[in-house]
Amino acid sequence: MNPSPSAPDCDVAIVGAGPVGLLLANLLGPTGLKVLVLEKNLAPPSHSRAIGITPPSLEILGSIGMADAFVVRGVKIQNVHVHGVSAQTGVCSFRELPGAHPYILSLPQQQTLSLLEQHLRLSPNVALLRGREVAQVEPMGEQVMLGFTEPAPKMTARFVIACDGWRSGIRQQLQIPVRETRYGCHFVMGDFIDSSGMAEEAHLFFTPDGAVESFPLPGGIRRWIVQTPGPLLVIPRGYICRIVQQRAGIVLDAATQLNHSTFNPQRLDCASLYRGRVILCGDAAHAMSPIGGQGMNVGFADAEMLADLLPGMVRGTGDISEELERYEQDRMRAARVAANRAAQGMWLGTWTGISASWLRDVILGGVLLRGPFARLMASRFAMMDVPRGRAQ
């Protein structure tokens, strides 16, 4: 690799081959820019986090001819059934959403990663290097130098995009201040072979003892998420089955449970999204509660905007500081909207106790899931109105 400032090793170095870094690399493929994706792990993770892909994200994937490959592998969720204290309080239906994808597509994150990684091979100007942990980013005039933890030669790029997740080491190195909010809510999730008979529908059970959420996955699998009273360090065997039966009256077979994990939602807001030629994108730039399923989708729209801006910034046809300022303002606004929405949904959904639960039933069944409000809820859930990352 060439450390000389006059000849960078690549136009754009993307740090992190998570869903956002890989999508950005794919979107940059047709631009002809020389792109390197640097990923510390030798193999993709085997456990799934994100499952919900929204219509705007499918539109972004469609722009590089990838939407069909996702749609044939995923499950189209068209209805979310909401259950209250004693009965179903309403349905949030995506069937009337405008556009080609009136549904939320359910696909495990590892399959999203695999599709995006395979598609990279169609772009000869884009390469993914695994086993490269970026330890240092240093401005060098109109380039940035990257150093690694491994004994690998340093390299240079015109721009570095930090897609290295919510704990972003690059963000820490740049000393960009962040505000972290812990919500004090705790969840356990597990995937089961599906014998519920709920087909391709999602179900939310809001009960006085806590929430239960249930989403179909491809391959006859269903994800169950249960709210827990506190953080669990050890998940007792059969825990999810017991809670689902107590709260939703549904009997799951513990022998068909495929995995489990816990999560304790938190939010992260950054004071800035760039320093010089190093730009934050995806979870490195914002994190939000997974309840509501928006983090990856907001990151996809960040990637879309950067893919529009970077060719001009690299080729010197755009005003770099103006473009970066616009990126920062637009994407911080989008993250704020999505994170507020996720927090509001989680707040309402995690009320416990009988009176709060009856009140929630009235709010949901009597107002939010009725008539025009129901359509608005569907549109908000599907993130139709979260600001998109296109450079106008």
Ligand X SMILES: Cc1cc2nc3c(=O)[nH]c(=O)nc-3n(C[C@H](O)[C@H](O)[C@H](O)COP(=O)(O)OP(=O)(O)OC[C@H]3O[C@@H](n4cnc5c(N)ncnc54)[C@H](O)[C@@H]3O)c2cc1C
Distances (CA, A) of 253 to 65, 191, 217, 244: 40, 11, 17, 11
Helix (H) or strand (E) holding 330: helix 320-349
Residues within window 105-144 making contact with ligand X, judged by CB under 6 A? 109, 133-134
In sequence order, which residues have a C-beta less than 8 Å from that of residue 26 and are 6 or more positions away? 64, 66, 116, 119, 120, 123, 126
Q: Applying CB under 6 A, which of residues 10, 12, 13, 15 lies at the interface with ligand X?
A: 15
Q: What is the closest distance, in whole angstroms, from the C-beta atom of residue 146 to ligand X in the complex?
A: 9
Identity of the residue, 160 or 252, whose beta carbon is nearer to ligand X in the bound complex: 160
Q: What is the closest distance, in whole angstroms, from the C-beta atom of residue 4 to ligand X in the complex?
A: 23
Partners of 203 in beta bridges: 81, 214
User: Can residue 297 be called a binding residue for ligand X (CB under 6 A)?
Assistant: yes
Which among 100, 81, 102, 106 has a CA at the least distance from the CA of 92? 81
User: Site size for ligand X, by CB under 6 A?
Assistant: 32
Of the ranges 92-100, 161-169, 271-279, 314-322, which one interacts with ligand X (CB under 6 A)? 161-169
Of the ranges 122-130, 137-145, 243-251, 293-301, which one interacts with ligand X (CB under 6 A)? 293-301
Q: Which residue is nearest to ligand X (CB)?
A: 18
Which among 192, 214, 182, 186 has a CA at the least distance from the CA of 201? 214
User: Can residue 56 be called a binding residue for ligand X (CB under 6 A)?
Assistant: no
Site string for ligand X, 23-42 (x = CB under 6 A): ---------------xxxx-
Of the ranges 12-20, 195-203, 315-323, 324-332, which one interacts with ligand X (CB under 6 A)? 12-20
Of the ranges 91-99, 163-171, 342-350, 364-372, which one interacts with ligand X (CB under 6 A)? 163-171
Partners of 381 in beta bridges: none
Compute CA 328 distance to the chain's CA centroid, rounded to the nearest angstrom: 18
| Unique residue bearing structure tokens 């000389």 | 4
Identity of the residue, 83 or 132, whose beta carbon is nearer to ligand X in the bound complex: 132
Of the ranges 3-11, 49-57, 82-90, 116-124, which one interacts with ligand X (CB under 6 A)? 49-57
| Unique residue bearing structure tokens 């859930």 | 381
| Unique residue bearing structure tokens 């637009």 | 330
Of the ranges 25-33, 162-170, 243-251, 344-352, which one interacts with ligand X (CB under 6 A)? 162-170
Q: What angle do CA 208, 210, 215 make, to 5 degrees?
A: 125
Q: Applying CB under 6 A, which of residues 10, 12, 17, 25 lies at the interface with ligand X?
A: 17
Which region, left, alpha or beta, applies to residue 197 given φ > 0 means left and ψ of -120 to 50 means alpha? left
Q: What is the closest distance, in whole angstroms, from the C-beta atom of residue 125 to ligand X in the complex?
A: 20
Q: Applying CB under 6 A, which of residues 55, 56, 90, 165 lies at the interface with ligand X?
A: 165
Site string for ligand X, 257-286 (x = CB under 6 A): ------x------------------xx---
Q: Applying CB under 6 A, which of residues 12, 28, 35, 50 lies at the interface with ligand X?
A: 50
Both tokens of 107, joined, read: 């696909």
Q: Applying CB under 6 A, which of residues 295, 345, 349, 389 lies at the interface with ligand X?
A: 295
Distances (CA, A) of 110 to 48, 72, 114, 296: 6, 16, 6, 13
User: Can residue 169 be called a binding residue for ligand X (CB under 6 A)?
Assistant: yes
Cα pseudo-dihedral 249, 254, 260, 264, rounded to 10: 30
Partners of 311 in beta bridges: none
Cα pseudo-dihedral 38, 40, 41, 45, rounded to 10: -80
User: Can residue 339 be called a binding residue for ligand X (CB under 6 A)?
Assistant: no
User: Can residue 16 be called a binding residue for ligand X (CB under 6 A)?
Assistant: yes
Q: Applying CB under 6 A, which of residues 11, 12, 19, 381 lies at the interface with ligand X?
A: 19
Identity of the residue, 45 or 220, whose beta carbon is nearer to ligand X in the bound complex: 45
Query: By CB neighbour count within 10 A (0-12 exposed, 13-18 middle, 19+ buried), where does 258 fall?
Result: exposed
Site residues for ligand X per CB under 6 A: 15-21, 38-41, 49-52, 109, 133-134, 163-165, 169, 263, 282-283, 290, 293-297, 299
